[in-house]
Copies of this chain bind each other. A is one copy, B any other.
Amino acid sequence: MSKKNKSALTEKDGVSQPETTSKTSAKKIQLKRRKQTPTSEYVTQILKGNITFLSKAITLVESTNAKHQKKANEILEACLPYANKSVRIGITGVPGVGKSTFIESFGKHLTSLGKKVAVLAVDPSSSVNKGSILGDKTRMEQLVTDENAFIRPSPSGTSLGGVAQKTRETIILCEAAGFDTIIIETVGVGQSETAVHSMVDFFLLLKLAGAGDELQGIKRGIIEMADAIVINKADGDNAKNAKIAKVEFNRALHLYPPKENGWVPKVLVASALQHKGIDNIFSMIDTYITDAKKSGFFNEKRNQQNKYWLLETINQQLKDNFYNNPDIKNLLDSEIKKLKESKTTPFNAAKRLLGK
């Protein structure tokens, strides 16, 4: 027996070993290995459309470890020249409107046309209830087995800003991997739809016929963000209601000012379940994108969005630095109390807080 083999770490045959590997440390080792793969290898494989490397790179993007983030940034900057070539579509709607079924039907239609589709999600709440809206991939059982589709659940994270950043970076990686259509799903009840609206070329709002109860959950302002409203579940007894709703929404949208580029939002009906109306929706988006590219609006909007995210990231960080200071937290509470008691004005209170 050589000296080397005398190490205390040598396993003895027949002696059971304690379970020392936790899931967390296994994950760490995996990520460490991933880190050791050179950036150039990641980039080469992603550009080839290698899904395994794409997934690994996204995991690096989503990691909170500083070394992984450094690596992720190297990969991202190397992929950037190959990104930006897709069409990015945002899809929102309250729970129950049939988002998953719609995305499955719409995604299958796209792949049948020879497109490569990536489906991402922005759902900051997923970190709380551990149930990402795309987590349960079984809800898209056909799309998940389609080799031209890539489905990635919402990254976890407590802050919307963090989740949005990770999603934006994932878009770049997917585009570099050759996905020409990126669908970003969000649930239209919180702040996340504003973030998604600021990262897509076209924003689709799914609704149900019978404008009543289902409106309660939706946030004011979403309708004005939409480039199109699709009235889903227009099948069976609902088909007639859907057509009436279409007329009503069309009339309503015409009372609104058109979008910056002159686009008047459209209203369409669809039955994702029966795959009806899906082709019309794609044609509409296709026409919109073609026109937007011709007029230069497409690039202009993407530049504006990049600038928006740059400033938004800075502004968020400035606020975090300020409000996370424990002295400020205490003073803020007491100033808000004073405001309620009419003992100061918001501007004097702000001055005192900034004086700290």
Contact = CB atoms under 8 A, between A and B. Distances in A.
Contacts of A190: none
Taking each of A76, A347, A353, which has the highest tally of chain B beta carbons within 10 Å of its own beta carbon?
Answer: A347
A158 B102 CA distance: 48
Interface of A: 73, 76-77, 80-81, 83-84, 165, 168-169, 172, 211, 215-216, 218-221, 223-224, 248-249, 251-252, 254-259, 303, 306-310, 312-315, 317-319, 322, 335-336, 339-340, 342-350, 353-354
A285 B341 CA distance: 26
A212 to B, nearest CB: 9
Contacts of A339: 303, 306-307, 310
Contacts of A354: 314, 317
Given A81-B342, A315-B315, A165 B347 contact: yes
Contacts of A350: 309-310, 313-314, 317
A187 B348 CA distance: 28
Contact of A346 (B81, B313, B322, B348): B313
Given A315-B315, A318-B319, A310 B255 contact: no
Interface of A (DSSP majority class)? helix
B169 A347 contact: yes
Contacts of A248: 251, 255
B319 A315 contact: yes
A341 B39 CA distance: 22
A255 B212 CA distance: 8
14 contacts: A73-B345, A73-B348, A77-B343, A77-B344, A165-B347, A215-B256, A216-B257, A251-B251, A307-B336, A307-B346, A310-B335, A310-B339, A314-B353, A318-B322
Contacts of A76: 345, 348
A322 B336 CA distance: 25
Contact of A218 (B77, B83, B215, B257): B257
A215 to B, nearest CB: 5
A301 to B, nearest CB: 13
- Rank and list the top 6 A-B pairs by shortest CB-CB distance, nearest first: A309-B346, A252-B252, A313-B350, A310-B346, A306-B339, A318-B318
A235 to B, nearest CB: 21
A315 B257 CA distance: 30
A220 B253 CA distance: 11
A84 B84 CA distance: 52
Given A219-B257, A248-B255, 15 more contacts: A81-B342, A165-B347, A215-B256, A221-B221, A223-B224, A223-B255, A252-B255, A310-B349, A310-B350, A312-B346, A313-B347, A317-B350, A317-B354, A318-B318, A318-B319
